[in-house]
Amino acid sequence: MTRSASLAVDLSIRVDGAQPLSPELVLALNALCDQAEDADARGPVVLEISGAPATVRDLPLPLVNKWERALRRLERLDMPVVAVMTGDCGGVALEALLATDYRIAEPTARLLPSVEAEAVWPGMALYRLVNQIGVAATRRTVLFGTPVPADQALAMHLLDQVTDDPADALFDVVETVMSSAHASPAIRRQLMLDATTTSFEEALGRHLAACDRVLRNTTEEASS
């Protein structure tokens, strides 16, 4: 048995972008977040991602809102979230990918933002793209729906690793996370996300609060 075949991941979900957004997917992602938020849960959370929609039609906005709230929960989990991407990735798959912390893809994978005549995928993918890599890097993709191949996505830092053996790469990532003393990223992730959307004064208050929490935890550990 190879080491990748021996990998056991307790917290995982498959997101198929070729399928339309559904209440079942929202429930499944929320259930995964419930599991991850359990006090006894051990991470990381792993998302298996692939597929892109042919068209984007007839999605009720209340359902999109619930999906975005579920993705926001995913972004705020106090454990790392890892994506393994194969093939084309668009629609809900792209949305999910952009909400993860570490992204592994095979060389033939592509990011496919959905752009139609007068519409885009009705979610926050474009918001996350621009916040993560900037307007200039996403201009052609956002305006014309230009596919982003894996090697280009890696150069743009939308992906962290491109490999012929994603399962083996995942093994290394999980092994590193499970042995890390800093495997609880919620505060650091939130401060990082806030940096692009808040003023310096607002960010300073949040950073000081985070520092205070770390110092109090260190003091408590030293005295116990």
Over residues 115-141, the mean pLDDT reads: 74
In a domain, 63, yes or no: yes
Domain boundary among 149, 164, 179: 179
Same domain, yes or no, for 162 and 212?
A: no
Supply the mean pLDDT for the chain.
81
* Within-domain flag for 6: no
Residue of 115, 118, 107 whose CA lies nearest to 140 = 115
Location of structure tokens 């996370």 = 177
**Domain annotation covers residue 4:** no
| Domain co-membership, 191 together with 121 | no
User: Is 199 part of any domain?
Assistant: yes
What pLDDT score does 122 carry? 54
Average pLDDT over residues 101-111: 96
Q: Which pairing describes strands 148-149 and 81-89: parallel, antiparallel, or unpaired? A: unpaired
Tell me, what's the pLDDT at 5?
Answer: 46
pLDDT at 221: 58
Percent of the chain with pLDDT over 90: 41
Same domain for 37 and 146, yes or no, is yes
Instruction: Please tell me whether residues 50 and 126 are part of one structural domain.
Output: yes
Q: Do 172 and 192 belong together in one domain?
A: no
The H or E element containing residue 19 is none
**Per-residue pLDDT at 206:** 62
User: Are both 34 and 143 inside the same structural domain?
Assistant: yes
- Given this model, what pLDDT does residue 6 score? 46
Same domain, 54 and 120: yes
Which of 147, 163, 179 is at the close of a domain? 179
* CATH number of the domain to which 36 belongs: 3.90.226.10
User: Is residue 1 included in any domain, yes or no?
Assistant: no
User: Is residue 193 domain-resident?
Assistant: yes
Domain that holds residue 202: 186-223
How do residues 151-192 score in pLDDT, each as one tens digit? 999 999 999 999 999 989 998 988 887 776 555 677 777 777
Instruction: Please check whether residues 143 and 192 belong to one and the same domain.
Output: no
pLDDT at 1 > cutoff 50: no
Asked if residue 105 has pLDDT above 50, the reply is yes
Burial of 116 (0-12, 13-18, 19+ CB in 10 A): exposed
Check residue 96 and give its pLDDT.
95
Distance CA 143, CA 138 (A): 8
- As for how many domains the chain has, the answer is 2
Strand partners, 88: 110
| 2 is a domain residue | no
Q: Examine the domain organization and report whether 118 and 150 are in the same domain.
A: yes
Indicate if the pLDDT at residue 150 is higher than 70. Answer: yes
Q: Cα–Cα distance between 107 and 170 in angstroms, integer?
A: 15
Residues 96 and 198 grouped into a single domain: no
The residue ranking higher by pLDDT, 143 or 194, is 143
Residue 92 has pLDDT above 70, yes or no: yes
Rg of the chain in Å (alpha carbons): 18
CA distances from 3 to 24, 112, 131, 167, 175 (A): 33, 32, 36, 9, 11
Identify the band that residue 145 occupies on the pLDDT scale cut at 50, 70 and 90. Answer: confident
For residues 157 and 102, membership in a common domain is answered with yes
Residues 6+ apart with CB under 8 A from 182: none
- Domain identity same for 112 and 152: yes
pLDDT at 216: 65
How many angstroms separate the CA atoms of 184 and 162, rounded? 25
Burial 190-202 (b: 16+ CB within 10 A, else e): eeeeeeeeeeeee
In eight-state DSSP terms, residue 38 is S
Residue-wise pLDDT tens digits, 52-75: 887 766 678 888 889 999 999 999
pLDDT of residue 131: 83
